[in-house]
């Protein structure tokens, strides 16, 4: 029987990018939201701008990295829906990690108001 870690990084795991997103992006965001809902709701535009800013920086970098062969996306680990040269999972990662980091900054650097 394989352990969870082995399964998540093995060739047997379909859509492992989504599992990774759920474990390391969406679950922490949910925990932050539950913990500090008021602060996050109060600063939702700032959090969204963090995601948009991440897209502005990371999408060109991803295109460059893929074009030059620095990284790629294994077909068996993604859904297969591509948008402007990147898989939908990568768009989700870039946007939501920017939102998550902004949420963390708002909570921990926001002083008493956060």
Summarised one tens digit per residue, pLDDT across range 59-94 is 999 999 999 999 888 888 888 899 999 999 999 999
The answer to whether 90 and 55 are in contact (CB under 8 A) is no
The larger pLDDT score, comparing residue 14 to residue 58, is at 58
What predicted TM-score, i.e. pTM, was given to this entire model?
A: 0.79
- Residue 29 confidence (pLDDT): 95
Distance of alpha carbon 46 from alpha carbon 89, whole angstroms: 23
């Amino acid at each position: 029987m394989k352990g969870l870690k082995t399964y998540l990084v093995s060739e047997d795991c379909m859509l492992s990018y989504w599992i990774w997103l759920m474990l390391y992006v969406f679950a922490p965001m949910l925990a932050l939201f539950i913990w500090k809902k008021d602060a996050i709701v109060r600063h939702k535009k700032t959090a969204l701008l963090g995601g948009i800013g991440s897209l502005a920086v990371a999408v060109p970098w991803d295109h460059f990295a893929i074009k030059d062969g620095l990284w790629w996306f294994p077909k068996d680990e993604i859904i297969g829906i591509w948008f402007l040269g990147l898989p939908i999972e990568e768009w989700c990662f870039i946007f939501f990690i920017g939102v998550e980091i902004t949420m963390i900054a708002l909570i921990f650097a926001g002083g008493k108001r956060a």
